[in-house]
Amino acid sequence: MRIAPKWSFSKKVLAVAIVGAHLPLIALLPYVILNPQLSRVAVVGLAFLATAVATFLMVVGVRALLSPIMMTVRFLDRYEKDGVISELPGTFDDEIGRLMAGTRRVVARADQGLRELAAAASTDSLTGVFNRREGQRRLEEEVRHSRQLREPLTVLVLDLDAFKTINDDYGHGVGDRCLTHLATHAKSLVAGGGWVARWGGDEFLIALPKSDAARAAEIANALRERLMGQTIQPLKRPFSVTIGQATLQSGQDADALFRIADAALIDAKRAGRSTDATKQIGAL
């Protein structure tokens, strides 16, 4: 139901003031005039009654005028607290209604911009996986959660074999396609049970919460088999990856866990590309 749809907010304020302050007294005057026998006490009593009615009408009117403003305040409070953009009624078509609609539009646009900035700050623009900064932050969280819940956490560190040769022989465009291809398959393998971050260049990290070394080895083998079964034009052979693996041990932090997996990657490369290696080292 619209509240005086053709009235401006200032007219509504004026109407509330007139009705609340003057209408009860104006209604009282004819009654007093038509009843001259009323005593002074009765007149004073009626005056107090009229004042009480006026006060009540003023309170009701002011509350009605302030209602859309308080809705907007609650809207802003909820967004600030929970990040939720709730609905605001569109039944007020005066200045306050335009203020409410404008507030919601501005907040929605600002929220979208903030989300886009957050995504850009945490995502690798080429591959769509997390970038190194976001990966480090998430890995630290995973380590804390693993310790608190006493659940396993395993990471895979991998890179493309002969990536420099691919760039030199076929150009960086083909190299970028190889990186994107790798990231896409890695994400699909761990969807719902892990995440992928590009650590730099052709090196990636796959975090596998609640996964022990055996489960991580299965994922590493599955990824390698997927990549070996496909080619990217104009490469004349399937490209491959080498993988290092480490499972969180007592006393390790996120940096130590990554270093161990990275050392396993180096060992695997020394043993022969397109392989994987696992390192399990105790407390550091």
- Long-range (24+ apart) CB contacts under 8 A made by 251-255 are 251/282, 251/283, 251/284, 252/143, 252/281, 252/283, 252/284, 253/140, 253/143, 254/136, 254/139, 254/140, 254/142, 254/143
Q: Return the ∠ at Cα 243 (arms to 214 and 125), rounded to 5°.
A: 115
272 or 76, which is more confident? Answer: 76
Indicate if 152 and 180 belong to the same structural domain. Answer: yes
More confident residue, 96 or 195: 195
Q: Are residues 165 and 232 in the same domain?
A: yes
Predicted local confidence at residue 278, as pLDDT:
52
Separation CA 254–CA 60 (nearest Å): 60
Domain termination residue (choose one: 92, 117, 142): 117
What are the tokens at 50? 């009229």
Residues 257 and 206 in one domain: yes
Place of tokens 């990186």: 179
- Are residues 255 and 161 part of one domain? yes
- 266 in the same domain as 166: yes
User: In sequence order, which residues have a C-beta less than 8 Å from that of residue 40 and are 6 or more positions away?
Assistant: none
The residue type of 44 is: V
Do 262 and 186 share a structural domain?
yes
Residue 47's domain comprises 9-117
Please name every residue paired with 158 in a beta bridge, in sequence order, or none if there are none: 204, 243
Q: Does any domain span residue 254?
A: yes
- Note whether 29 and 83 are same-domain residues: yes
Domains: count for the chain: 2
Mean pLDDT, range 206-217, rounded to an integer: 95
- pLDDT-derived band of residue 247, with 50, 70 and 90 as boundaries? very high
68-91 burial, b if ≥16 CB within 10 A, otherwise e?
beebbeebeeebeeeeeeeebeee
CATH number, residue 251: 3.30.70.270
pLDDT, the chain, mean? 84
User: Sheet harboring 153-160: ordered strands across?
Assistant: 195-200, 203-209, 153-160, 241-247, 276-279
Q: How many CA atoms lie within 13 A of 14 on its CB side?
A: 5
Over residues 87-96, the mean pLDDT reads 80
The gap from C-alpha 9 to its chain's centroid, in whole angstroms, comes to: 36
> Residue 79 falls within a domain, yes or no?
yes
Give CA separation, 225 vs 159, 231, 241, 274, in Å.
15, 12, 10, 10
**Shared-domain flag, residues 166 and 244:** yes
Helix (H/G/I), strand (E/B), else coil: 196: strand
pLDDT, average across residues 217-222:
93
Type of residue at 120: A
CA distance 139 to 207: 7
Lowest mean pLDDT among 15-19, 75-79, 232-236: 15-19
Same domain, yes or no: 137 and 101? no
Q: 21 falls in which pLDDT band (50, 70, 90)?
A: low
Each residue of 69-83: pLDDT tens digit?
888 988 999 988 888
pLDDT digits (tens, 9 = 90+) for 114-147: 888 888 889 999 999 999 999 999 999 999 999 9
Share of the chain above pLDDT 90, in %: 46
Strand positions, DSSP E, the chain: 153-160, 195-200, 203-209, 241-247, 276-279
Which of 81-85, 222-226, 227-231, 271-275 has the least mean pLDDT? 271-275
Give every CB contact of residue 18 below 8 A, 6+ residues apart in sequence. Answer: none
The pLDDT value recorded for residue 282 is 32
- Cα dihedral sign for 27, 33, 36, 39? positive
Q: Do 142 and 241 fall into the same domain? A: yes
Mean pLDDT of 251-273: 90
Please say if the pLDDT value at position 229 is more than 90.
no
Q: Which of 250, 258, 278, 165 is nearest to 204 (CA)?
A: 258
Higher pLDDT, residue 229 or 221: 221
Backbone dihedral angles phi then psi of residue 4, each to the nearest 5 degrees: 40, 70
The reply to whether 2 falls in a domain is no
With cut-offs at 50, 70 and 90, classify the pLDDT of residue 230. confident
Instruction: Tell me if 104 is assigned to some domain.
Output: yes
Are 110 and 141 within one domain?
A: no
Instruction: Give the three-state DSSP class for 209.
Output: strand
Question: Where a domain ends, among 86, 117, 148?
Answer: 117
Please indicate, yes or no, whether residues 87 and 212 belong to a single structural domain of this protein: no
- Which comes out higher in pLDDT, residue 16 or 273? 16
